[in-house]
Structure 1
Amino acid sequence: MARSIDYGNLMHRAMRGLIQSVLEDVAQHGLPGAHHFFITFDTTHPDVAIADWLRARYPAEMTVVIQHWFENLEVTDDGFSVTLNFGNAPEPLVIPFDAVRTFVDPSVEFGLRFETHDDADDEDEDDEDDLPEADEKPHEAEVVSLDKFRK
C-alpha cells in the first residue's frame, strides 16, 4: 500500500493537545473570567475511572461541567483527573483524552467533537475503512451548537 499522510490522526492528536494545554493552564491558574467546560466522554473506555454508581447511571457516555466547584485537577499526557461535586458528594474522575468525545467552552462558543473510532477493528480492515467519518471531510473539528446543552 502506498504511504500517505494520516490527516485524521494528526488532527486528533492536535485537538487533544489543545485540550491538554487548556486544562494544564486551568490546573495552574484556575478558570479565567466566564470560561467553563462541558466535557463529554465515553464511560466504556477501559481507562476511565469513575464511581460504580456513576458508571451505572451513565453506562455509555457522560457529560461533566468544570465551572464553579472542582478540585485536584491534574493533567498528564494521557488524560486528566479531577474531583467534581455530585449532589454535595465529591467524586474523583479519571478521564483519558482518548475517551473524550466533545469539549465545549460555551463562554466563547468554542467546541471540538471527536468522531468515534473502534480500535479493535484496526487490524481487520483497510486503512481507509479505519478513518473516522469526518476524515472524509476537509476538517475533523467542528463547533458544537450551544443549544445542545441548554434546557
Structure 2
Amino acid sequence: MGRTIDYGNLMHDAMRSLIRKVLQDIADNGLPGAHHFFITFDTSHPDAELADWLSDRYPDEMTVVIQHWFDGLQVTDDGFFITLNFGEAPEPLYIPYDAIRTFVDPSVEFGLRFEQQEDGDKSADDAEDLTQTEESELEVEEEPVKAAEIVSLDSFRKT
C-alpha cells in the first residue's frame, strides 16, 4: 500500500491551530465586541481536567460558554486552561484541543465541528496518537454565500 496524504487530520490540525490563535488573542486582549464562544468538548478525554462533579454530570461531553465572565485563560500548544462560573461556583478547567468537538462564535455565525469516526478495536496505544491513526472529517459552518447578481454588460458596450 502506498503513502497517502491524510487531508482530514491536516485540516483538523489547521483548525485546532486557528482555535489556539483565537484563544491566545483573547487571553492577550480580551473579547472584542459581541464575540463569544460555545465550545463543546469530550469530558472523557484522558487529558481533560475538570471537577469530579462536572465529569459525573457530563460523562460524555459538555458545552462551555466563554462570554461575560472567565478568568485565568492560559493557552498552550496542546490545550487551554480557564476558570468558568458554574452556578456561582468558579471551576478551573483544562480543555485539550483534541477533545474539542465544536467551536462556535455565534456573533459572526462561525463554527467548526470535528467529526470523529467510531474507534472499534483501537488499543490504548492507538488512542494516544489520534492524529496518526484516526480518519476524520471537518465541517466548517459559516453564513451561506448569497447568490451572485448577474449584470448585463450590454449597457457598457460602445456601439
TM class, shorter-length: 0.7 to 0.9
Look up the match of 2:135. 131
Look up the match of 2:139. 141
Query: Closer, same or farther in 2 for the Cα pair 1:72/1:11, shift >3 Å?
Result: same
Offset at residue 142 of structure 1 (A): 2.3
Offset at residue 2 of structure 1 (A): 0.6
Look up the match of 2:71. 71
Residues 116 and 135, structure 2, Cα contact 8 Å, conserved in 1: no
Given the two structures, how large is their TM-score scaled by the length of structure 1?
0.83
Q: Which amino acid aligns with 1:116?
A: Q
Look up the match of 1:14. 14
Greater strand content: 2
The number of equivalent residue pairs is 134
Given the two structures, how large is their TM-score scaled by the length of structure 2?
0.79
Q: Which amino acid aligns with 1:63?
A: T
Moved over 2 A (4+): 117-123
Percentage identity across aligned positions? 67
CA RMSD of aligned residues (A): 2.0
**1:7-37 Cα shifts (integer Å, max 9, x gaps):** 0110000000000000000000000000000
Query: Closer, same or farther in 2 for the Cα pair 1:73/1:65, shift >3 Å?
Result: same
